[in-house]
Amino acid sequence: MSESYVERDGRRWTIRVVAAEEAEQADFDFWFERTPEERVAAVADCLLSALKTRGIDEIPRLRRVCRVVERPRG
């Protein structure tokens, strides 16, 4: 079973219902069929959808991360 949905900005979503035995292969096919750029965009969309379920409307900015390396005493 498969359904399609088109958002206002033109993005198309396809929803497929698969048996539990076929789920892992369907997941692999989804990611394998996309270009690296499409994969990055898909991850960002998934993250934003997950944050919206918690009431956060945008992806927060990443904080700067610094690493301090200490020299061995000796």
pLDDT tens sequence across 10-53? 878 888 889 999 999 998 998 899 999 999 998 888 899 899 99
Residues, the chain? 74
2, 15 contact by CB (below 8 A): yes
Q: Which range marks the domain in which residue 7 is found? A: 1-74
pLDDT at residue number 70: 84
Confidence of residue 54 (pLDDT cuts 50, 70, 90): very high
- The reply to whether the predicted model has a pTM over 0.95 is no
Instruction: Tell me which H or E stretch contains 19.
Output: none
**Number of domains the chain is built from:** 1
